[in-house]
Structure 1
């Protein structure tokens, strides 16, 4: 795996779970990542805590790490490399991808360990 450059993004993130078939919330996107995923079983929303929608379940206290992209779809092992490094350090994660790159959320309490683990794996991390 080639060396990746990972940026720690500012702000606290939340992961919210809305009931199935909920109307998709409209959230501002200029301040950070917003991801809305709808399945037959739920609607999940990842956003800065300050703009998170009211929800039946909300898990707060996440920090966002973003791989600098864009990344080609033909690249392999990116998420495996990141997740493996974090797993070896005992850091749970919430992984997601966008068209251009990959993103990982880790609990704020685990951020320092995550940064150390990724650096020890040879990745460049800007915190």
Structure 2
């Protein structure tokens, strides 16, 4: 399987919301968090900025936009996110990547959104 086959003509949705990425004190993130990542040393929550930053946040990075690859990506597909990350890196776009069971999400800063959209267009994606 070639990742380019999924990207060419694949839809990428830009969420209308801005997100904050928060390092949380303790392990209980807000119930409304879009995503939560826990490891042995910290808990990170991605929250909708309209809902406010949780009081338990000890560090916050604001102004992130979520790009969702609206395609079901099989587990056997190797290198999908690597292709996306490489292409965005070439444009100087930093990413925060998340995966769900069947698809990937990439968060980019609001200031990098246009450059990210241009690069995804160059891969054949339909960005909406």
Bin of the TM-score, shorter chain as denominator length: 0.7 to 0.9
Instruction: Please point out which of 71, 88, 93 is paired with 1:69.
Output: 71
Query: What is aligned with 1:16?
Result: 22
Rounded to whole Å, the distance in 2 between the matches of 1:102 and 1:50 is 23
Please, which runs of 5 or more residues in structure 1 have no aligned partner?
none
RMSD, aligned CA: 1.4
Indicate if the aligned counterparts of 1:24 and 1:36 stay in contact, CA closer than 8 A.
no
After the TM superposition, which residues 44-83 of structure 1 pair with which residues of structure 2 at under 5 Å, given as runs? 44-51=44-51, 52-54=53-55, 55-83=57-85
SS of 1:12 mapped into structure 2: strand
For structure 2, list consecutive stretches of 5 or more residues without a partner in the other structure.
Answer: none
Count of equivalent residues? 120
The TM-score with structure 2 as length reference comes to 0.86
Q: Which aligned segments of 4 or more residues in structure 1 are displaced greater than 6 angstroms?
A: none
Contact 1:106 1:114 in 2 (8 A): yes
